Amino acid sequence: MLKISKVSKTFNLGTVNEKKAIDQIDLTLEEGDFVTVIGGNGAGKSTVLNLIAGVYPIDCGTIELAGENISLYPEYKRSRLIGRVFQDPMMGTAADMGIAENLAMANRRGKKRGLRWGITPNEKEVLKQRLERFDLGLENRLDAKVGLLSGGQRQALTLLMATLQKPKILLLDEHTAALDPKTAKKVLTLTDEIIKEENLTAFMVTHNMKDAITYGNRLIMMNDGKIIFDIKGEEKKNLTVKDLLEKFEIATGEELNDDAVLLVKD
Q: Which residues bind ligand ATP (CB under 6 A)?
A: 11-12, 19, 21, 39, 41-47
Q: Looking at beta carbons only, is 49 or 104 nearer to ligand ATP?
A: 49
Q: How far is the CB of 42 from ligand ATP (least distance, A)?
A: 4
- For ligand ATP, the closer of residues 41 and 214 by Cβ is 41
* Distance separating alpha carbons of residues 41 and 230, to the nearest angstrom: 18
In the bound complex, what is the minimum distance in angstroms from residue 161's beta carbon to ligand ATP? 23
* Nearest CA among 82, 107, 44 for reference residue 202: 82
CA distance 150 to 75: 28
Question: In the bound complex, what is the minimum distance in angstroms from residue 25's beta carbon to ligand ATP?
Answer: 12
Using CA atoms, how far residue 203 sits from 4, 45, 84, 85, 181, in Å, is 13, 10, 10, 11, 21
Given a contact cutoff of 8 angstroms between Cβ atoms, the answer to whether 170 and 200 are in contact is: yes
* Minimum CB distance to ligand ATP smaller for 42 or for 98: 42
Work out how close the CB of 94 gets to ligand ATP at its nearest, in angstroms, rounded to a whole number: 25
CA distances to 54, 67, 72, 84, 161 from 75, rounded to whole Å, are 4, 18, 9, 12, 17
The distance of closest approach from Cβ of residue 241 to ligand ATP in the complex, given in angstroms and rounded to an integer, is: 17
- Write the DSSP symbol of residue 170: E
In the complex with ligand ATP, the residue whose CB is nearer, 22 or 65, is: 22
